[in-house]
């Protein structure tokens, strides 16, 4: 078989199957684009209701701003909606050396977006209701705790999908949260 015959057979093959070759390349490019884009992460976020639970322990310090705060337990439920808004309900239990915790119910809503594998949240409205009695926490302590919560709510977090029911959110400055769905 000569070199010319071999070149002609390759040209003949390309001309005969050019549409299928183009279709295959298009499918591969589209699949790469889909799996590397934010679209998949957005679809996963809006597909279910998410939950998280966080326990923070605070060492005894000389800082008067936090008062006698020794432990914080947060349980959150969040829904991301297709119109790029979200709603989060958080139950925050504040513990001091006293056995009786102070409970704060926080309702938060705002807008969200995914950009470059980062979840960006922009809270617009907060409502909180405090229940329980704990004399260790004064109103100025609760004000600072609410400010810390609000600052934490307005952050960019890297999204890593662990599986269809678990997402790891890593903060740019500190810590990680896991969103899970039952």
126 vs 146: CA distance, rounded Å: 10
Helix H, strand E, coil C: the string for 106-136 is: EEEEEEEEEECCEEEEEEEEEEEEEECCCCC
The structural domain count of the chain equals 2
pTM: 0.75
Q: Are both 113 and 84 inside the same structural domain?
A: yes
Query: Structural domain of residue 32, as residue ranges?
Result: 1-36
Q: Residue 182 burial by CB count (10 A; 0-12/13-18/19+): exposed, middle or buried?
A: exposed
Q: What is the residue-level pLDDT of the chain in tens, covering all 182 positions?
A: 455 666 777 777 777 787 888 888 888 877 777 666 788 899 999 999 999 999 988 777 655 666 677 888 999 999 999 999 999 999 999 888 777 888 889 999 999 999 888 999 999 999 988 776 667 677 777 788 888 888 888 888 999 999 999 999 998 877 888 999 98
Q: Could you tell me if 128 and 70 lie in one domain?
A: yes
Most distant CA pair in the chain: distance in Å? 96
**How many whole angstroms separate alpha carbon 20 and alpha carbon 132?**
69
């Amino acid at each position: 078989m000569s070199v010319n015959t071999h070149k002609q057979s390759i040209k003949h093959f390309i001309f005969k199957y050019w549409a299928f070759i183009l279709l295959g390349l298009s499918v591969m490019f589209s699949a790469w684009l889909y799996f590397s884009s934010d679209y998949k992460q957005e679809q996963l976020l809006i597909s279910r209701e998410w939950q998280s639970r966080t326990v923070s322990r605070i060492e005894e310090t000389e800082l008067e701003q936090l008062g006698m705060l020794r432990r914080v337990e947060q349980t959150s439920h969040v829904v991301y909606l297709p119109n790029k808004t979200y709603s989060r309900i958080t139950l925050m239990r504040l513990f001091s050396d006293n056995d009786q915790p102070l409970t704060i119910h926080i309702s938060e809503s705002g807008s969200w977006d995914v950009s470059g594998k980062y979840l960006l949240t922009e809270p617009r409205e907060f409502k909180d209701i405090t229940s329980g009695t704990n004399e260790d926490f004064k109103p100025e302590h609760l004000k600072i705790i609410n400010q810390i919560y609000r600052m934490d709510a307005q952050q960019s977090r890297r999204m890593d999908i662990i599986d269809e029911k678990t997402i790891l959110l890593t903060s740019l400055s500190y810590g990680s949260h896991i969103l899970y769905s039952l």
